[in-house]
Every structure is written in structure tokens, then in C-alpha cells.
Structure 1
Amino acid sequence: MPPFSESNQNERHPHYSRATLWLLATIAGVSVANIYFNQPLLDDFRASFPESAWLIGAVPASTQLGYALGMLVLAPLGDRFDRRLLILLQLAALGVSLVVAASAPTLAVLIAASLAIGIVSTIAQQAVPFSAELAPAAERGHAVGMVMSGLLLGILLARTVSGFVAQYFGWRAVFGASVIATVALAAIVIARLPKSRPTSTLSYGKLLGSIWHLAVESAALREAALTGGALFAAFSIFWSVLTLLLAGAPFHMGPQAAGLFGIVGAAGALAAPLAGKSADKRGPRAVISLCIGLVALSFVVFAFSATSLVGLVIGVIVLDVGVQAAQISNQSRIYALKPEARSRVNTVYMVAYFIGGSLGSAAASLAWHAMGWIGVCLAGLVATGLAAFSHWRGRERERAQARPSA
């Protein structure tokens, strides 16, 4: 195998094709959807495990925590080993984890299975850089964009599919259906996906060590990670308990209704390219500041919409636009920090991002049981305030660095 170099990258890969990109986009979407399947199912979990109802928030929290762990311990392996093999191994582990979740006899088993599902669902973090490897330099942006669109669709439609299946077949069927999809996807990967070319000879320990050094050395990366993680915590606070709100008076709606809100969240996907263009023209900081304001506004709307579907729909649109646009702008910042280590920079950011999501889900469950819907909205505002503080501190640091020295 020839050594990896920029000249190699500029050549057209023999297996680069639109079909391969669509396959990678499907891999990303199907795998990342498993993180969000459980969010419309919380009321069903509560009915199945009434003795542990106060712990149901741990199910989405453990899935997101698992994704953060998977980002840390599995995603860097793509620089060292064949991504096709890694994808197949993770698909196999995902299938086993889903079987355990579908047959879970207790909530504790479901929580443990959810943690494992989160860890191995980081397959998406192999698919995106794989597309960048396959594409020639002139088409790399298009290739990455296609795969990212698959990932985003997986996030948006997961709740809708989950809610629909659970409404008619029960929550266990959601995980069972995902087992079938995972097995089918693995068969296609074996038949169609080419092997990748490792880009590093570093040992596993040194790969992880370099991630730590990036986090320690870059204050800008730490700030972006904290801001992004806090916004995703706010996002998770809302989505983790929406199904509980809709199950009660005056709505009395099942998981399908909660899942349909995922379609409303498609506004976030429409905002993503606009956010990228605005970040290029006005700078990402200005866009992130606006997004933090939108997220805060969404929770104010939610606070006055405990009995209003129209208010909830408006709030979801504002929340998803704010979080998705901030995500694109934040990533445009961090990718410029260390171009030669973008995968590891992304690992630092995404680990913090999903730790924030996990903490948000846990906080939502506690807030719901302590203060109801108002408590959930206050928790969302607190998380948004943390994002605002982190963003403000970073801006002040940059201003101080820009001042001429005495």
C-alpha cells in the first residue's frame, strides 16, 4: 500500500462513486438514528417498568454518554486501521446491543444496553472521514456534504420512525426493527464498501494522548466544546421529556405524536447551509451569538406552551434552528484551529458535545419529577446561560489577545 500523502489524495480513488457516497450516507444515518430512537419511548418505558419510573431519564442519558465514550475510544481508530473493517465490527456489536435492548427484562438492563448502543453507534464518525479519503481534493466538500446530509436525516427522522413503530407494535419492536436494518446494512457493506487506507502509524495510546494534548493546548477548542456541549444539553433537556408532556393532560398523545415533532425539526437541516454561509461572511462568532439567543427564546416559548401544540411547534423550530446553526458555525471554527488534525479536534468537540447531551437528559428527568414542565424550561435556560457565558469568555479572550501589548 503506498504511503498516504496529499498527492495521493488528489488522485481519483478507483472506488469513488456516487453510489459509494450514498452508501456512506446511509451508514451514517442508520447508525446515528439509534441514539434518538429511545426519546419518544419514555412513557412506554415508564409503563413497562413502573417500579423504576423515576430512572427512565437514564435511558437517553446513557445512550448519549455512550456516544461520547465511543467518540473518545473508537473514532480515532479510523486513522490507524481499515475503516471498512471497523464499520463491520461496530455493526456486529450494534446488532447484539439492540437485541439485548429489545428483550430487556428490567430497566437496568435497558440502560446498560443503551450505553452499549451509544458506544458502537459512532460508526457515523468513520463514514464521514471515509468520504473525505475517497474523494479527490476538488470534490471533497461535496462528498462530505452528502454523507453529513445522511447523518442529519438519521437524526431528524429517528424520532418519527420510532414513534410510529412504537404506536402500533410497541417499544420493543423499535429495537427489533433496527436489528433487521443493521443486519441488512452489514450485508451491503460487505458487498459494496471498499477498504480504506490508514493515515497514521501511531499506537492506540499515542492517538489518545494526542487528543488530550489538543484539548489542553487550545483554549479556543475548549471554549467551542463547552459552548456546543451546553447548547446540546439544552436541546436534550427538551427532547428527553417531550413525550412525557404529550402523554399527559390536555394532549393524551402517544409516542407517534412525539415522533412527528422530529419532522418539524427539519427546519434545523434547512438552517445548516445558511449558517455556513453566514459564518463565512459575518464570522462564526456572530452567528453563534444569535443562535444562543434563539435557544433561550425557544425555552421562553416552551414555558408558555405547556397546553399549546402550536406553541410547542414554534418552539421546536426555533430550538432546532438555533442548535443546528450553532453546531455548523462552531465546527467551522474548530476545523480552522488544526487543519492537520481535524479528526482528533472533532473528537474533542464531539465528546464534549455528547457529554453535554447526556447531562441534559439526566437533568431533564430530575427537573420533570421535581418541578414539572416549568422546571424543564428553567433547566433549558440554565444550560443556555452556560453556553452564553462560555461564548462571552472566549470572545473576551480573543479581544484581549488582539490588543497591542504595552
Structure 2
Amino acid sequence: MEPSPAAAPSAVPAPARSVNVLLFAVAGAVTVANIYFPQPLLAAVAHGLDVSERTAGLIASAAQIGYALGILLLVPLADTARLRRLTSVLLALTVLSLLVAAAAPDVVTLALATLALSTTTVLPQILTPVAAVLAGPGRRGRVVGLVGLGLTLGSTLSRTVSGAVTDASGSWRTAYVVAAAATAALLWVLPRRLPERMGAGGAVSKDARRRSSYLRLLAGLPRLLAEHRELRISALLGACVFAAFSVFWAVLAFHLAAPPLGYGPGAAGLYGVLTLPAALLSAGAGQLADRYGPRAVNALGLVGAGLGLGVAGLAPYSPVALVVGANLLVVGVSSSQVASQALIFAIGRAVAARVNTVFMLATFCGGAIGSFVGSWLYTAYGWSAALLLAGAFVAVAGFVVTVAARPAAPSCVPDATREAGSIRPRTSQE
């Protein structure tokens, strides 16, 4: 007998849920690292492939664009597809693309391989809604925060590992080989620990799967955005804060390599370790969102991000100031993202992967814009111009939060109905 959707989270024993959350966090860290580990290598890539820094910066933009494409085209499948099979295929394709990137003879091949691997390495955005569905109400923010911690650690520490590997080996290509090996290791562990399908113990009727065809899943994304005010707010907020985040990290390696600092890839990657305190601190954002609401956590996150950019801009050649600024930016952006995801996953389990698709698609489109425009501004006008752009994105995000604070008509949809998979809109952000 198929269990009711409301009972599904409790059908998984608490110890198993805890193990899965830890595994999801580790898997998310390893896979999301594939998007970020090339960032401290961009100066080395430019030198090794004999291209300009502006051209090498296209690698960072290709990663963001590919990730956005993967979120749009692949993540919605998680609502109806066999998760174990989907996960295995995505991991295998990511490994293959990483190996192609490692052997790339020119920047065009590297950019195309980056686009491909970032398109298929979208498991973090599949694992997050799965963890949220298994957690159920009351624990959703905490679980999303723990998985988000894994993503933050992966995005930050990957820069350190790739920089250290490049310094030790003398080649940026070695970092891609190491990333391929780490991703391949997940093939032996992750798929078997996933439920067969999203929700209700993994059982989905043939009729339901037929109604939720791939094209219908994609066609329904604009409707979700139109029906849910909290999804619209979160999507715009995510795009703005991640654009600011991407501006900073896309140009940091160039700034550190330029006089008077003159640091290499290893030093640029070291900033991942130095932002570890911020990554750990951001894990508490989920609990704060459960207790005080996503809006308050978003506001605090934007304050932190703005302060971080201000510190880095006021003392551009102070390594200490850059570390402090990076930490404030990481904790601010990570906290904002966790709060926004905790909010949108309350819409309903039947559409958990799709609302995450809309949110993350907007987020990484913002990241791609930030990486591209930030790299261009840095090349043309320097560090201060790039940080002013990042600050402008944070200011727009602050305006969004302020507008979202205006009261809206109360929703008449009870929580139990939403947990059972209803997609009727909620009209407030709390």
C-alpha cells in the first residue's frame, strides 16, 4: 500500500535520515566543487593556454551558464524520474567532461568542457529538495542548512585544494583530474542511498508519471513562478546576491596575482580555507530561519555581504582585510540562500525539485552575469569598479527584501495541504 504523502518523512527512520543528510552534504560538497575549483586557476589557465585574462574569465562564466542550463533542463526530472538512475548518469557524464577539460588543448575546448560538466553536475540541486522532503516541516530549515553547509564548504575549500594541487604539480590540468576522481568515487556510494523516487517512499504511479511528462514539467515552471509570491521574491533575491558573490570570486584571483600582491594560484586558493569560519557559521542559518523566519535571516545576510564588500574595497591590498571581507561575503550569501530555500520548499513536496529549479536557475543566471560583467569591469577599470558592481547587486537585493516586507493577503491554504503536494500559492513570505 502506498503511504500518504504526509506520512512519508516519518517512514524513514531518524538514524537513516541523519546518515543520508550527512552523505547528501558530502556529495553536494564534492559535486558543487566542480563549479568553483577553476576560479583560482584562471590566471594559470590564461598563462598556460596563452590567452588574456578576460578570455580566461569566460571559463567562470561558462561554469555558471552550464549550471543554470542543468538546473533548467535536468533538475525538474527529480520530481518524477528514478533518482538512483538519474544520479548515476549525471555523475558518469560529469567525470567524462572533467577528463576532457583536463586534456583540453585550447581555451575553446576547455570552455565547452566546462559548459558540459557544469550542466551535468547539478546533483546539489537534486539532493537539497530530497533532503527537505525527507525532513518534513519543523526540521526543514535545519536540514537545508546542513546540506547547504556542505555546498558552502565545497565551493570554498575547492578553491584551496585546486590551488594547492596546481602549485604542487605545476599544472592546472592536475586539478581537473583530481576532481574527476573525487566525482567518480560518489558513483559507488550515493545512488544506492537515495530513495527510488521523490516523495511517498519512492512510489509514483504510472498515470502520475505520464501526466508529469518532461515537457510538461518544463512548461509548468513559469506557472509556479506566477502562482507563488515567495518564489518570485526568492528567485530575484537569489540572482542578486549570487551575482555579487560571483563578481568577487571571479576577479579575486586576478587581483591577488597583480602587483603589488603578486600571489600565485595556491595563495588564491588559500582563501577557501580562510573563509572556513564563515562556511561553518552559515550552517546555523537554517535554524534561525525556522525560528525567526526567512525574511529576518535574509536581511542579516545582506548586511553581512555588504559589509564584506565594503571592507575588501576600502583596503584592497591588505590580505587581512580581504580575508575578513571574503568571510563576511560568504556567510551573508550562504545564509540568504539557505533562508530562501527553506521558504520555497514549504510550497509543497510534489513540486520541490521544480521550485528549486526556478530558484537556482535565477540564482546562477545572476552568477553568470556577475562573473562576466565583473571580469570585464576588472580588466577595464580595476578592483574598485568590480566591487562597486557587486555592491550594486547587494543594494538591489536589499530593495527586494524591503518590498517583500510589505504585508500581503493571508493564505487560506493549510500547511498540511501544502505538505501533501498542493501547488496553490501562498501569498506571504513567512
Provide closer, same or farther for how the CA distance between residues 363 and 142 of structure 1 changes in structure 2, counting only shifts above 3 A: closer
- Note if contact 1:12-1:136 (Cα within 8 Å) is conserved in structure 2: no
Report the CA distance shift for 1:189/1:288 in structure 2 as closer, same or farther (over 3 A).
closer
**Displacement of 1:158:** 0.9
| Change in CA separation of 1:297 and 1:134 when aligned onto 2, cut-off 3 Å | closer
1:244, CA displacement in angstroms? 0.8
Partner AA of 2:324 in structure 1: I
- The corresponding residue for 1:179 is 180
Distance 1:277 1:134 in 2: 17
374 and 221 in structure 1: CA distance in 2 versus 1, 3 angstrom threshold: same
> 1-side partners of 2:24 and 2:42: how far apart?
30
Question: Larger deviation: 78-87 or 50-59?
Answer: 50-59
- Per the alignment, residue 284 of structure 1 pairs with 294
The match for 1:312 is 322
SS at match of 1:50: coil
Equivalent residue, structure 2, for 1:365:
375
Amino acid of the residue matched to residue 159 of structure 1?
R
CA offset at residue 387 of structure 1? 1.4
Distance 1:171 1:20, change over 3 A: same
Superposed, 1:223-242 pairs within 5 Å as 223-242=233-252
Q: Distance in 2 between matches of 1:229 and 1:256?
A: 29
Q: Does the aligned pair in 2 maintain the 1:15–1:134 contact within 8 Å? A: no
Residue aligning to 2:419: none
The answer for unaligned runs of 5 or more in structure 1 is none
Counterpart contact for 1:13–1:136, Cα < 8 Å: no
The partner residue of 2:404 within 374, 386, 394 is 394
Aligned partner of 1:104 in structure 2 is 104
Match of 1:214 among 224, 248, 260: 224
2:382 is paired with a residue whose SS is: helix
Residue 139 of structure 1 deviates from its aligned partner by 7.8
Counting only pairs closer than 5 Å after superposition, residues 53-68 of structure 1 correspond to structure 2 as: 53-68=53-68
When residues 140 and 345 of structure 1 are mapped into structure 2, their CA distance, relative to the original with a 3 A threshold, is closer
Distance 1:269 1:385, change over 3 A: same
Q: CA deviation at 1:54?
A: 2.2
2:327 corresponds to 1:326? no
Contact 1:67–1:120, Cα closer than 8 Å, also in 2: yes
Give the equivalent residue in structure 2 for 1:11.
Answer: 11
Equivalent runs, 1:104-123 vs 2, <5 Å: 104-123=104-123
Q: Secondary structure at the match of 2:356?
A: helix
TM-score by length of 2: 0.84
Cα gap change, 1:38 to 1:145, in 2 (>3 Å):
same
Percentage of matched positions with identical amino acids: 38
Q: Aligned Cα RMSD in Å?
A: 2.8
CA–CA distance in structure 1, aligned partners of residues 321 and 8 of structure 2: 53
Distance 2:293 2:123 in 1: 31
Structure 1 pair 51–293 and aligned structure 2 pair: CA distance change class (3 A):
same
**1:84 Cα shift?**
0.8
Counterpart secondary structure, 1:366: helix
State the Cα deviation string for residues 68-105 of structure 1 (Å, max 9, x = none).
11111111111211111111100111011101111111
1:349 and 2:349 correspond: no
Consecutive unaligned residues in structure 2, runs of 5 or more: 411-430
Deviation digits for residues 134-169 of structure 1, max 9, x if unmatched? 678898777665544433322221111111111111
Instruction: Evaluate the alpha carbon distance shift between residue 322 and residue 2 of structure 1 in structure 2; reply closer, same or farther with a 3 A threshold.
Output: same
Classify 1:362/1:336 alpha carbon distance in 2 versus 1 (closer, same or farther; 3 Å).
same
Cα distance in 2 for partners of 1:78, 1:66 equals 18
Code of the aligned partner of 2:90? Q
Q: TM-score, normalised by structure 1?
A: 0.89
What letter is aligned with 2:302? Answer: I
Q: For the residues of structure 1 that align with 2:203 and 2:126, how far apart are their CA atoms?
A: 12
Query: 2:129–2:356: 8 Å Cα contact kept in structure 1?
Result: no
- The residue identity in structure 2 corresponding to 1:180 is A
Which structure 2 residues correspond to residues 115-194 of structure 1 after superposition, within 5 A? 115-131=115-131, 146-169=146-169, 170-189=171-190
Query: 177-186 or 56-65: which moved more?
Result: 177-186
Question: Could you say what secondary structure the match of 1:51 adopts?
Answer: coil
After superposition, the Cα gap between the structure-2 partners of 1:100 and 1:313, relative to the gap in structure 1 and judged at 3 Å, is: same
> Partners in 2 of 1:168 and 1:220 — Cα distance?
47
Task: Measure how far apart 1:250 and its partner are.
Answer: 2.0
Residues of 1 paired with 2:62 and 2:203: CA distance? 31
Do 2:84 and 2:196's aligned partners in 1 also have CA atoms closer than 8 Å?
A: yes
Q: Which of residues 254, 260, 269 is equivalent to 1:244?
A: 254
1:204 Cα offset (Å): 0.8
How far the C-alpha of 1:399 sits from its partner, in A, is 3.5
Code of the residue aligned with 1:56 in structure 2: it is A
SS at match of 2:104: coil
Amino acid paired to 1:284: P
Farther-moved stretch of structure 1 (213-222 vs 109-118): 213-222
Comparing 104-113 and 144-153, the one that deviates more: 144-153
Pair 1:388–1:5, CA change in 2 (3 A): closer
1:7–1:318: structure 2 CA closer, same or farther, 3 Å change rule?
closer
Contact 1:152-1:269 within 8 A present in 2 as well: yes
User: 2:25, 2:147 within 8 Å by CA — same for their partners in 1?
Assistant: yes
Deviations 1:303-348 (A, max 9, x none): 2222110111111121112112222222233233456533222211
CA distance in 1 between partners of 2:122 and 2:96 (Å)? 15
1:39 paired residue number:
39
Q: Which amino acid aligns with 2:35?
A: I
Q: 1:9 to 1:399 in 2, by over 3 A?
A: closer
1:210 deviates by 2.0
Which has the higher mean CA deviation after the structures are superposed, 126-135 or 362-371?
A: 126-135
The 8 Å contact of residues 13 and 135 in structure 1, kept in 2 or not, is answered as no
One-letter identity of the residue aligned with 1:213: R
**1:255 matched to which residue of 2?**
265
Alignment deviations for residues 197-227 of structure 1 (CA, whole Å, 9 cap, x no partner): 2545211111112222011223332222111
Deviation, 1:9, is 4.2
Distance in 1, matches of 2:394 and 2:252, equals 18
